[in-house]
Amino acid sequence: MAFVSAFVADSADVAENAKLGEGTKIWHQAQVREDAQLGENCIVGRGAYIGTGVRLGDNCKVQNLALVYEPAQLADGVFIGPAVVLTNDTYPRAINPDGSQKSASDWQLVGVTIAEGAAIGARAVCVAPVRIGAWATVAAGAVVTKDVPDFGLVAGVPARRIGWVGKAGAPLRQEGERWVCPLTGAAYVERDGVLEEA
């Protein structure tokens, strides 16, 4: 197996037909399955799993022991924290009602979609099908069962929106009718439950 412009640790298991972008790094004991496509400069940490046909944009980070099951789609700049799980089965069972073992044809894959720049905290679980909006943050340990809006900050079990975050990742402060990033000074405006850059 030769991925000319990517680094693959000797102990990693990367399918021959997986596509790895330039500068991508696959670390110790990670597994990247068949037909997965990873963009440029991605990092897949120790023991992480990237399922069959999963798509990652450029500059994504999938931390140690995270499980990204197909058909997940991650846009550019997505962060997946340690031991995060992106599920793919709405009604999981090992067997059918008649007791026979389930096969690939006995269930329908559903996926998690994560938009640009979003971050999923350590040990969070995203229960498919859900969409995590651009630049949103899912707190560590949260269980996401509903879509998360762009710039949304969600926490808890089940996850609920507890605030807004800016592109720098810090919770925004409300100043009059605007929301302001304490790190960058960038301003945002909320209209009908939707946050947009001012």
The residue ranges of every structural domain in the chain are: 7-167
| Per-residue H/E/C for the chain | CCCCCCEECCCCEECCCCEECCCCEECCCCEECCCCEECCCCEECCCCEECCCCEECCCCEECCCCEECCCCEECCCCEECCCCEECCCCCCCCECCCCCECCHHHCCCCCEEECCCCEECCCCEECCCEEECCCCEECCCCEECCCECCCEEEECCCCEEEEEECCCCCECEEECCEEECCCCCCEEEEECCEEEEC
What is the reported pLDDT for 4? 65
In terms of CATH, what superfamily is 7-167?
Hexapeptide repeat proteins (2.160.10.10)
Given this model, what pLDDT does residue 104 score?
Answer: 85
Q: Report pLDDT digits (tens) over 74-101.
A: 999 999 999 999 999 999 999 999 999 9
Q: What confidence tier does 3 reach under pLDDT thresholds 50, 70, 90? A: low
